[in-house]
Amino acid sequence: MPEISKPKIAITGPNISGSTAWFFTALNIGIAGGKPVRVTPESFDGTFDCDGIIIGGGADIHPDHYIKEDSTPVERSLWLKLKECVLYPMELMSRLSSSGYDKTRDVMEIRFIQYALDNNLPILGICRGHQLLNAELGGTMYESTLPLLEKDARIRSPFPRKTVLYTTNDSLISRIAGDDPLKVNAIHSQAVAQPAEDLKVTAKEEAGINQVIESKNSDKVLGVQWHPEYLFYMKAHRKIFSWLVREAKK
């Protein structure tokens, strides 16, 4: 019998760094039976040779590319800030980091989002990809999660430290990952606020931050605020990549 070709999954990322996220995302796509293809602003030549798309995590989205949702500033104590840095070293690293925006990547990924939607290709947004997907379709975004957390510590860890609860019945994410609440990680500082008109929020974390967006009209559009690629040892998260590859085969 002739060999069935593996669907190509374009995985977007930055020119510099991003190797760890690429490795684990590619690993998950390979486990799911797909062929991962890395795409960066430098390597992208304007062609879209893929069957599915992952818009990956990374730097904050440039303010030019989203509508900001107003939020009330909250005075956070020095003790709370120290607690965050001690409990979650990634928060300390983030505060010490001088990394800025990646506008060139934003522009490239917006083109991939448009291509996926125009051609009915399955698309998965991860963390910043989840946010950019919503922003490109007209939704709003919180510039920072800190006002939402108020006096609670911001969790920033690649390990599952949060619980995500479904907010609607028969959602795409529940059909993919199962009905039980999901244990997820968190490596983000921005968040989806109001979903775009064509999208809906189907899961939130206990603090109320939106964790999943889906299309109202298609089972080929999914955004998750966490990083499922780092949770490959948990079946529920591997199923997200299996869904993408399965849809890409169609």
| Residue at 3 is within a domain | no
pLDDT above 60: residue 100 = yes
Quote the number of domains for the chain: 1
Mean pLDDT rounded to a whole number for the chain: 92
pLDDT bracket for residue 89 (50, 70, 90)? confident
157-166/199-205 β-pairing = antiparallel
DSSP letter for 21, please: H
The CATH code of the domain that includes 182 is: 3.40.50.880
pLDDT above 80: residue 91 = no
Which of 39-43, 153-157, 162-166 has the weakest average pLDDT?
153-157
| Residue at 1 is within a domain | no
| Residue at 156 is within a domain | yes
- What is the four-CA torsion angle of 238, 244, 246, 250, rounded to 10 degrees? 180
Parent domain of 185: 8-249
Burial 41-65, CB ≥16 within 10 A → b, else e? beebeeebebbbbbbbbbbbbeeeb
The DSSP line for 124-186 is EEETHHHHHHHHHTT-EEES-SHHHHTTSPPP-EEEEEEEEEE-SSS-HHHHHH-SSPEEEEE
Of 127, 123, 126, whose CA–CA distance to 114 is shortest? 123
Predicted confidence (pLDDT) per residue in 156-185, tens digit: 899 999 999 999 988 999 999 999 999 999
| Residue at 2 is within a domain | no
Which of 37-41, 51-55, 100-104, 144-148 has the weakest average pLDDT?
144-148
**pTM exceeding the 0.85 threshold for the entire prediction:** yes
- List the end-to-end C-alpha distance of the chain, in Å, as a whole number: 19
Question: What average pLDDT does range 64-82 have in this prediction?
Answer: 86
